[in-house]
Amino acid sequence: MDGAEARDGDVAAPPPVSDSRSMRRALADLGEGLRQRELWALLGWQDIKQRYRRSLLGPLWITIATGVTAVAMGLLYSQLFHEDIASFLPYVTLGFIFWGFIEGSILDGAEVFSSNEGLLKQIPTPLSVHVYRLAWRQLIIFAHNIVIYLVILAIFPQPINWTVLLIVPAMALLVLNSVWVSVVFGILTTRFRDIGQLLTTAVRLVFFMTPIIWSAKSLQQVAGAESARARIVEVNPMFHYLEITRGPLLGEHVEFYHWGIVIACTVVGWLGALLVMRNYRARVTYWV
């Protein structure tokens, strides 16, 4: 009998099965990327430096741009809506600061892989490194912008109490949402580039539908607290994200249902992110 032929009684071993589309590999990618914090932290800082290279003020332009916009909008809409500037300006300022974090997570997250094509193909790192890099960059921008609120707080003091500590879990939830948003939209946008354009249009629309330059209380006063028009603002998930982050810094009591909705969105989003990572993680380098 030819030596190449199988011997009697021998059973041919089955071909190896790839586990690239397994939940284990998806979780391993997220865990390994988190452990490489020195890499994504350095890349996040480099992103900020690169954006403001050769400018006189450097990253201070982040604070200046946000501050000028927030103060201008606060002054304008306080007159249009007959709001007290001492309470409305901090409200609008925090709205712009937290909205900037949310907007950046969505729009930059949609391009997190396509904009790093070279690194993805040349450096064998987990996909999640680029996601954590984006979340870290958004935190750096947030740190620059929160200075604006501290200045306004010194001018217009707010009734801050112990509830200000709730900003810690609120920011933790924002970061968790930033990660899953970047994973989902980042992977889908590498496959369908139109998604990025759709997200840009949708985010601009949602901005005006979210109480940032207007308040939910003013809407309730105009339409009636129990009217359908006043309650429809709660259909917008972004409203609840702003409530849990802005409320503690304004010394306001945040209803528990706002936290419940944000936590539910976070859980659902992470389940979707894990599903997308499991099915399409291995294809991203071919799509970019």
Within-domain flag for 240 = yes
What gap in Å lies between CA 98 and CA 242, rounded to an integer? 7
Within-domain flag for 97 = yes
C-beta of residue 281 within 8 angstroms of C-beta of residue 126 = no
Within-domain flag for 159 = yes
Within-domain flag for 32 = yes
Burial 69-91 (b: 16+ CB within 10 A, else e): ebbebbeebbeeeebeeeebbbb
Within-domain flag for 228 = yes
Per-residue pLDDT of the chain (288 residues; tens, 9 = 90+): 444 444 444 555 544 444 557 788 889 999 999 999 898 999 888 888 887 776 666 677 788 888 899 999 999 988 888 888 998 999 999 999 999 999 999 999 999 998 888 888 887 888 899 999 999 999 999 999 999 999 999 999 888 888 899 999 999 999 999 999 999 999 999 988 889 899 999 999 999 989 998 887 777 666 555 556 667 788 899 999 999 999 999 988 899 999 999 999 999 999 999 999 999 988 888 887
CA-nearest of 142, 164, 27, 30 to 93 is: 142
Range of the domain at 89: 23-287
Residue located via tokens 């759709």? 198
Query: Cα 283–287–288 angle (5° rounding)?
Result: 120
Within-domain flag for 236 = yes
- Encoded tokens for 149: 């609120």
Please state, as a whole number, how many other Cβ atoms lie within 10 Å of the Cβ of residue 196. Answer: 18
- How many structural domains is the chain composed of? 1
Within-domain flag for 153 = yes
Within-domain flag for 273 = yes
DSSP 32-60: HHHH-HHHHHHHHHHHHHHHTTT-SSTTH
